[in-house]
Amino acid sequence: MKDLVEIVSYDERWPEIYSEEVQPIQEVLSLIVVEAHHIGSTSVPELSAKPVIDIMILVDDLMLMENYDKQMTAIGYVPKGSCGVLGRCYFDKDIERDGAIKVNVHVYEYGDPQALRQLWFRDYLSEHPSDRDAYAVLKKSLANRFPYDIISYVLGKSSFVQKTDHKALEWKALKGEHFIAMKPKKLSWTEQQKLKAIDENFQLQMTFFARYLPSSNLIVHRDTIVHRSTIPDHSYNFAIATHFSEDKALRRVRDIMNYFIEQNLPFTWWVGHLDEPEHLGELIQSQGLQHKENRIGMSRPLEDSPSIGNGDLDIRRVVNHRELKDFDRVYVEAGGSPDVFDLLYNQIPSILYQEGSPIELYTAYLNEEPVAIGSLCLYANAAGIYHIATVPQQSAEGVSDMLDFLIGTAAQKGYSLATTVTPEKDKELFIRKGFTENSVYRGYHPL
């Protein structure tokens, strides 16, 4: 039987239960823990919530968590892997406090933007009672409508959560706060670690801006990530990071497809090397999608990287709205959608690409005219390189110089691995710069 989605009134014992539960966790993780926080709805005073205590643990190095499963099990917590959430190790257990209460432990690396978003959401609701109360009303209504359907419950509140994330982001920016740059770890990379880094870096690059935009609806399920936007282009409507169980796979494929079809939107379903089930591509095709394109997951060690001197080009990081317009100008001249600035870039709060952000945008200028662009995504201990494009008259030289600059910048920042997920047509360019192919992401479109 499915679990009941139950919303109860705020319980003043919730902070006490958090304090009781977090102490043994901090003792177990004492060598790597940086901070611990009570998060989720039970952390917001006077907010009605499911009886679930969510504990966030921030650690120096998330990769070390694989050494702590036995210790966490010894204090009652069941290891669940990432449970579909990027950059997280997840544990849970059930306790009894005059009724059943679930305790979830979310472990992130210190500085992870996914963790910071949850802390800012908590802080914002705690300081804005009208939004807090509106959230409570919405959750109660959804729980009454979908008492045994957690997916519909989560989908129903996703728009409110995303709008509140945007409000919290701007509120924190006005207070002078910003993202915290994650420190790269020097690694001897195994092939499996490279594959995981490519996948996680790609996921963040695809979703980081989208989470905060009014024109976007980003839904992070435990078994997939879905993004639907107002831009009628398959590049901006997609499903990624799919992990369906065999018994639910067909139904979930149909659910996700209908999410786009009901709005008559083109979309791409990206199927990568870590997605499940193994026959996901065949299952998607059986429902009417067609394999249309490939993107290639690639990596390059950074021990031997090019100088970041860039000849005649003046390459600058984008830090304000005017420079963002220059970035978009090159994007459009290179063949991108002319609607993207108004519907996407113009809505991006500057905090998302300024100090500490995992996304760094760069524009190359020649005689003060923007001629090339590129971006870095600094996540999962890797420096992802994306959005390499130039105006037509600078195509060869501009692309090469921008790519050398981004590789050199990543090395200067202390990263030991550069990654990319690039269109198949650009594969040879990256090979010439020292990248090797690691994986393939297959893109499926409606017929």
**pLDDT recorded at residue 310:** 54
**pLDDT recorded at residue 290:** 97
Whether the predicted pLDDT of 317 surpasses 70: yes
Asked if 28 and 139 sit in the same domain, the reply is yes
Of 174, 206, 233, the one marking the end of a domain is 174
Of 174, 200, 226, the one marking the end of a domain is 174
Sign of CA dihedral 3, 26, 176, 205: negative
Average pLDDT for 25-47: 98
In a domain, residue 8? The reply is no
Asked if 149 and 282 sit in the same domain, the reply is no
**pLDDT recorded at residue 346:** 84
Query: What's the CATH number where 29 sits?
Result: 3.30.460.10
**pLDDT recorded at residue 309:** 65
| Total tally of structural domains belonging to the chain | 2
Whether the predicted pLDDT of 379 surpasses 80: yes
Average pLDDT for 284-311: 89
Range of the structural domain that residue 441 is part of: 178-447
Average pLDDT for 64-91: 95
**Bigger pLDDT: 37 vs 344:** 37
pTM of the model: 0.94
Whether the predicted pLDDT of 36 surpasses 70: yes
In a domain, residue 345? The reply is yes
Average pLDDT for 38-63: 97
Asked if 209 and 104 sit in the same domain, the reply is no
**Bigger pLDDT: 336 vs 46:** 46
Residue range 180-230, pLDDT digits in tens: 999 998 778 999 999 999 999 999 999 999 999 888 899 988 899 999 998
Whether the predicted pLDDT of 311 surpasses 80: no
Asked if 200 and 330 sit in the same domain, the reply is yes
In a domain, residue 2? The reply is no
Residue range 232-247, pLDDT digits in tens: 889 899 999 999 999 9
Sheet containing 225-229: give its strands across: 216-220, 225-229, 238-240, 268-271, 436-446, 289-301, 417-423, 382-390, 369-379, 359-366, 314-317
Q: Token pair of 8, please?
A: 């109860």
- Give me the residue label for tokens 């639907």: 228
